[in-house]
Amino acid sequence: MASIRVEGVQGQMAAVLSNVPAFPNDRFVLGFPEAIGDAARAIWFGALKPRWREIGDGAWESAGEMPDELRYRLVITPYEDYVDAVITLTNCSHRVWQNSMAFNCFNCGSSVLRDNECLRHWVRVKGKFQRLVELPRVFSDRPTVQLYSVEGAPPGAQIPFVANFKATPADVVAEGWMAIVAPDGKRLAATVSRPALFLFQNMEYSCIHSAPSFGTMQPGQTAKALTRLYFVRQPLGKWYERMKREMEV
């Protein structure tokens, strides 16, 4: 029986996680998906009113649709110290989507992980762990927001959804995960997608995103992607080795 508790928020592209063993006094809000579809004209949070239902063993399912544009199904399944979110997306438009995506928001602002200065936010660039505060930053008219290109994906400048933020350092290419370490250094939460299209973080809300990619999608095509959220009592290096084994990224 899974320990982590999931509860979908009816009519919203959101769910809440609680009863997390590594963070027993905290709750986490998921904007899953906060935006979805064609990276050139994604459908944003609030435009869809998905239906949520429990489907057994603690898992929840939601489904949303915009006629002549897209249809998706999301299944969030909790385990002992991680949660899997699998999205199945269909291109219902008459366009080819060069890049397709889900903008999955993992909000840590209501937890001990809150880190508005990015001192405990970590990524991995060129084989080296780095805190976000150590990386170059591009300041847009939303200075709390930053996006990062991901290894194996197109550069952010070539992804309209990313480029429109005007907040992506051109010389930073990270692996497809982001983590926040607790102040005690003994616990962390992380988000990783397979495959990942880009990373995003917002200092204001202490939220992190590993945006999954569905690739290039033809009209009528359906594709699937995974985002996994970890909640572990491990230092960064030990978690990383585990994640690499499990996610094969």
Q: Give the pLDDT mean for 232-238.
A: 97
Instruction: State whether residue 72 is helix, strand or coil.
Output: strand
Q: Which residue has the tokens 């919203």?
A: 12
Q: Give the pLDDT mean for 107-119.
A: 96
CATH code, 234: 2.70.98
Residue-wise burial string across 91-130, b where 16 or more C-beta atoms lie within 10 A, e elsewhere: bbbeeebebbbbbbbbbbeebebebeebebbbbbbeeeee
Q: What is the rounded average pLDDT for all residues in the chain? A: 96
The domain tally of the chain equals 1
Instruction: State whether residue 54 is helix, strand or coil.
Output: strand
Q: Give the pLDDT mean for 154-170.
A: 98
Distance, CA of 208 to CA of 201 (rounded, Å): 4
Side chain identity, residue 234: Q
- pLDDT for position 102: 98
On whether the pTM is more than 0.95, the answer is yes
pLDDT band at residue 3 using 50, 70 and 90 as cut-offs: confident
Distance, CA of 11 to CA of 142 (rounded, Å): 28
Q: Is the peptide bond before 195 cis (omega within 30 degrees of 0)?
A: yes
Distance, CA of 162 to CA of 103 (rounded, Å): 11
pLDDT band at residue 28 using 50, 70 and 90 as cut-offs: very high
Angle 226-228-231 (CA atoms, 0-180°, nearest 5)? 175
Distance, CA of 146 to CA of 7 (rounded, Å): 29
Q: Give the pLDDT mean for 206-234.
A: 98
Distance, CA of 47 to CA of 186 (rounded, Å): 39
Which pairing describes strands 145-150 and 196-202: parallel, antiparallel, or unpaired? antiparallel
CA dihedral 206, 172, 213, 77 (to 10 degrees): -40
Helix (H) or strand (E) holding 101: strand 97-107
pLDDT one-digit tens code per residue, 58-91? 999 999 999 999 999 999 999 999 999 999 999 9
End-to-end CA distance of the chain: 27
Q: Is the pLDDT of residue 1 over 60?
A: no
Q: Is the peptide bond before 235 cis (omega within 30 degrees of 0)?
A: no
Give the domain extent around 157.
Answer: 5-247
- pLDDT for position 2: 59
Distance, CA of 217 to CA of 220 (rounded, Å): 8
